[in-house]
Structure 1
Amino acid sequence: MTTTSSPGDVIRTRWSSSDDADQFTVENPATGEPVAVVQGAGVKETDLAVQAAYDAHFAWKARSPRERGRWLWKLAQAVRENADEIAALETSDNGKPLTQARQFDLEAAIAIFELFASLCEAMPNQVRDAGSTLDITTLEPYGVVAAIVPFNWPPLHAAGKLAPALAVGNAVVIKPPEQAPLSVLRVVEIAQSILPDDVVHVVPGTGRIGARLAGHELVGKISFTGAPSTGSAVIKTAADNLTPTLMELGGKNPFIVFDDADLDSALPWAIEGGFFNQGEACTAASRVLVQAGVHDEVARRYAEAVPRLRVGDGADPGTHVGPMVTEAQRRRVLDYIDVGIAEGAMVAAQAPLPADPRLAGGFYVPPTLFTGVRRDMRIATQEIFGPVVTLIPFQDEAEAVSIANGTDFGLVAGVFTRDSERALRVSRALRAGMVFVNNYNRAFTGTPFGGVGASGYGREHALETLHEFGYSKSIRLPSGTSEIPRWAPSLEVTGRNG
């Protein structure tokens, strides 16, 4: 497998099929031009990959946690050594600014591999003295983990699924996003060059490959990141085999600014939170809730900042906001902008699109700020997954919490206030898996990450994630003399033929 082919070449993996129907083209979102052709896996090849992983996991789980940790350290070092190349691949098929790919995605991926390499030494096992018995509880791997990765942060999500699954003793079959598979293919290629044979497999393809993994009887756990609708379909398919799932889904995250907030700090966080990664982020600060006393000032200052965002090719170091990952995603976001206008919201500001003729075919959407937004509008309740931010006014704390909790999602939130008691009170009242107070920094490796409601369930990137990729097994051993229950019949054995 190689991910450095020219657009005329076909990228193949071990599990590529020979069927032209499984072949797909990857486009550069900045220009709309082909960047690679991938020969994907078919259902037959996917089955073979799962079987190979299943066969390999027995030897992998038999290694000590410390030994598995050493392998993960080697993998982390190798990813660091190749980080520039991986980031460039990500920009070429995802479109995001190269600086963001390298400084955020790759650094986070490396940190995740390092974290779980170290956590192997803290594998959550215990021994309990139960009187006449010793109760030994171990964390048992599921066997094969199917990892389905989204297009927005491919190397980060690949690491977030590979590292804990491998740490616990599972083998992994990973499906990259068909829109942006190149960085994942390279990470897997590196992993396969370092880890024992058949511990990690990759099956590129479209949704039917993900569906096959979700329904495979040898898959012991499914880790999925993506849209709620797709996640729901994965859960329904997995239910036929009673396969447990970990779901990291969407977000419609409230960024709450109270009238006593430090606006010089809050505004840069809001802009970064709304437009980082082109808004293609489940953690995007897409709803900015502003108390009435400072609403107009926040709206003015935010609107003045948006046109200064530079939209363009992610390979250009001056770019702030890159293109959408595909033309279909571009069209989806533009449709939401039309919906917002039709529902009565006002476009307060937009950033200009690139004028370079070379980028005329790119999948660009102007970063857009809406004001005059009601809490029940579709742009205020549905995940847009693009560079669109809505400003929503509120009068008091109770209304802020009501609006913030007024969607199906519950992933992250931000609270900006100088009142420490209110910060804690509101944070506790918000329905979210993570709340940032007076910051919106998403570099949270080591902290449990995940949501509730339509944002999914389960927690990633932390010590408790180990429990997501293994199940508790208890073994009870006699400690001294164990009495047989008195109601059991007494048997006297006098001989073989008694």
Structure 2
Amino acid sequence: MTTRTDDLLGRIQPTEGGREIFDPATGELVGRAPQASVEDLNDAVARAKTAQPGWAARSNDQRRSLLHAAADAVEAHAEELAQLLSREQGKPLNGPNARFEVGACSAWLRATAEFSLEPEVLVDDTSGRATLHWRPLGVVGAIGPWNWPMMISVWQIAPSLRQGNTVVIKPSGYTPLSVLALVEVLNTVLPENVLIPVPGRGHVGEALSRHPDIDKIMFTGSTATGKSIIKAAADTVKRLTMELGGNDAGIVLADADPKAIAEDLFWGAFINTGQTCAALKRLYVPESIYDQVCSALVEVAEKMPMGPGLDEANVLGPLQNEAQWQIVDRLVTAARDSGARILTGGDPDHSRSGHFYPTTLVADIDPQNPLVVEEQFGPALPIVKYSTVDQAIEWANSLNEGLGSSVWSSDLDRAEEVASQLVAGTTWINKHGAVDPRMPFGGARESGFGLEFGVEGLKEVSQPHIISR
């Protein structure tokens, strides 16, 4: 029987050829993704450049209305988008996963539609008058990741369109169908050539980064790939927003209630089966409550079902690809071999189909162990014991990454005092990874630069223009 997801797939697949995409949970064929060439990219950029002045000429109210219409379209197709996302990316339908991600797409479109950048009077006195205006940049090149392919695409698309830019978007080669389907739905209401996808391999992304008619690159992904994009964009002095890798630290203070925080700690670390840039990647716990926190986390972890995403019972899924599975397995094996204690998990079932890695908690681990200092990006959390808060802060700040961090305490004032000493773009208190479209989000150190979300996010896709008289 043909489903609505099959209908949507039929609209985005090539008539012949293309790259085969397989379900990471079952190995079954999901569909075929078209593969753009550099010539296709050049054509897309030319069309987006031609369409941009007309899009920018529309009023703020018109663009706002179209973003709301785009959100309506996403909601009308929410279930088939979620089903496709689950099959391609692997994340379950339920929990903070596929249906959650599709819902976030419409929520971010609506929130971004309502933000605005009004002209600002800077000087108005006997010396003269100066005003600050925010103009569109032109054509934005968006390069997205495979972990939250739809949601992060909207993070790039929505502010760019809101400010009068057009967008050429290159999805990850691991999850192109999800993004192509999302764009297909959005383009049912958007004007022609305002948003154009160019699915393809890495050379297409590199050509996008170098293209002289791309005015800005927005990228979410690994630090290594981000550095390559920065170099590629340098010759044309492009504006850049780089949301790169994270190895987020969480610090539990001695007054925290282990059982009360355990489930929030778990989801801070294991949302999307740990495949989230701003997930909790290393947890520092004081000696006085170390065993209690470990026990409480094990209790939560062992009741969370993992399996194929289309099974409504599951809330954890597979790793999206074999390469990421190998990284997680290498780091957990190194931790075990070093003498660290595996509290739960750590023993994958090699007879099982799919890229499943069991939910793994690792205790009594050295703070310099590879599982602590390298981003695992999967379902394995190292729990490090500390003696003093100063020691925990030092360890938390010792790495090159600085995307997010968190502090867990019953004393909010004390938690905020500790939070103020952490080097990160965002520090959450008694939660982790709770992004909000109203709150600017970005990284410190090698976790990137530039801000997304809110009015500050609109500024990142705009050219400031001072008029002084």
TM-score under structure 2 normalisation? 0.94
Shift of 1:151: 0.7
Q: The residue matched to 2:355 in structure 1 has which SS?
A: coil
**Would you say 1:373 and 2:375 are equivalent positions?**
no
Alignment of 1:44-123 (within 5 A): 44-99=39-94, 100-119=96-115, 122-123=116-117
Q: Report what 1:167 is aligned to.
A: 162
Contact residue 65 and residue 123 of structure 1 kept, 8 A: no
Q: Which runs of 5+ in 2 are unaligned?
A: none
- Contact persistence 2:74–2:185 (CA under 8 A): yes
* Structure 1 position 418, deviation (Å): 2.0
Partner SS for 2:362: strand
Work out the CA distance in 2 between the residues paired with 1:35 and 1:388. 28
Q: Is the aligned partner of 1:253 residue 2:245?
A: no
2:441 is the alignment partner of 1:446: no
- Structure 1 residue 371: Cα displacement: 1.0
SS at match of 1:72: helix
d(CA) in 2 for partners of 1:8, 1:163: 23
Question: Cα offset for 1:302?
Answer: 2.1
Over the aligned positions, Cα root-mean-square deviation in angstroms equals 2.3
Is the CA contact (8 Å cut-off) linking 2:139 and 2:214 kept in structure 1? yes
Residue 125 of structure 1 pairs with residue 119 of structure 2: yes
In the alignment, residue 155 of structure 2 is paired with which amino acid?
A: G
Following superposition, the deviation at residue 303 of structure 1 comes to: 2.7
Post-superposition Cα deviations, 1:250-272, rounded to whole Å, max 9, x if no partner, equal 11111211111022221111111
Match of 2:325 in 1: 330
Summarize the Cα distance change of 1:443–1:452 in structure 2 as closer, same or farther, 3 Å threshold.
Answer: closer
| Match in the other structure for 1:496 | none
Select between 322-331 and 170-179 the one with higher mean Cα deviation.
322-331
Deviation for aligned residue 1:159: 0.8
- Does the aligned pair in 2 maintain the 1:10–1:37 contact within 8 Å? no
- Structure 2 distance, partners of 1:441, 1:237, is 30
Tell me which of 2, 20, 30 is aligned to 2:25. Answer: 30
Provide the residue aligned with 1:417 in structure 2. 409
1:476 Cα deviation (Å)?
A: 2.8
- Cα distance per residue 1:117-171 (max 9 Å; x no partner): 111xx22422342535432321111100000110111111111001000011100
- Sequence identity, in percent? 33
* Pair 1:184 & 2:176 matched: no
1:139 and 1:7, CA in 2 relative to 1: closer, same or farther beyond 3 A? closer
Instruction: Report Cα offsets for 1:322-364 as digits up to 9, x if no partner.
Output: 0011122222221221222233322121188689x8xx32111
Q: Residue 382 of structure 1 corresponds to which residue in structure 2?
A: 374
SS at match of 1:429: coil
Aligned-partner residue type, residue 426 of structure 1: V
8 A contact 2:12–2:180 mirrored in 1: no
Which of 277, 283, 304 is equivalent to 1:309? 304
Q: 1:370 to 1:351 in 2, by over 3 A?
A: closer
Matches within 5 A, 1:213-232: 213-232=208-227
Asked if residue 403 in structure 1 is aligned to residue 395 in structure 2, the reply is: yes
The residue aligned with 2:454 is 462
Letter of the 1:170 counterpart: N
Question: Structure 1-normalised TM-score?
Answer: 0.89
Moved more, 408-417 or 301-310: 301-310
> Secondary structure of 2:439's match?
coil
Change (3 A) 1:3 1:449: farther
- Letter in structure 1 aligned against 2:251: I
Aligned counterpart, 2:272: 277
Larger radius of gyration: 1
Count how many residue pairs are aligned between Structure 1 and Structure 2: 465
Give matches, 1:291-306, under 5 Å: 291-306=286-301
Q: Deviations over 1:83-107 (max 9, x none)?
A: 1111111001000011133442122
Q: Which of these residues, 428, 446, 454, is aligned with residue 420 of structure 2?
A: 428
Candidates 130, 135, 138, aligned match of 1:135: 130
Asked if the contact 2:215/2:239 (under 8 Å) is kept, the reply is yes
Contact 1:311/1:353 (CA < 8 Å) preserved in 2? Answer: no
SS of equivalent residue, structure 2 residue 187? helix
> For 2:93 and 2:223, how far apart are their aligned partners in 1?
28
| 1:37 CA displacement | 1.2
Distance change >3 Å, CA 3–CA 41, structure 1 → 2: farther
Q: Distance in 1 between matches of 2:44 and 2:302?
A: 49
Q: CA shift at 1:275, angstroms?
A: 1.4
Q: What's the secondary structure of 1:242's corresponding residue?
A: coil
What's the CA shift string for 1:390-428, capped at 9, x where partnerless? 000111111111111111111111211122332111110
Provide the rounded CA distance (Å) in 2 between the counterparts of 1:86 and 1:279: 22
Is the CA contact (8 Å cut-off) linking 1:5 and 1:11 kept in structure 2? no
2:142–2:169 Cα contact (<8 Å) kept: yes
Q: Please give the alpha-carbon distance, in whole angstroms, between the structure 1 residues aligned to 2:331 and 2:369.
A: 11
Q: Secondary structure at the match of 2:312?
A: coil
Query: Contact 1:262–1:416 at 8 Å: present in 2 too?
Result: no
Q: Which residue of 1 aligns with 2:234?
A: 239
Tell me which of 331, 346, 362 is aligned to 2:354. 362
Q: 1:235 & 1:8 partners in 2: Cα distance?
A: 34
- Alignment gaps of 5+ in structure 1: 478-498
Q: Which amino acid is the alignment partner of residue 310 of structure 1?
A: P
Q: Answer whether contact 1:11 1:36 (CA < 8 A) is retained.
A: no
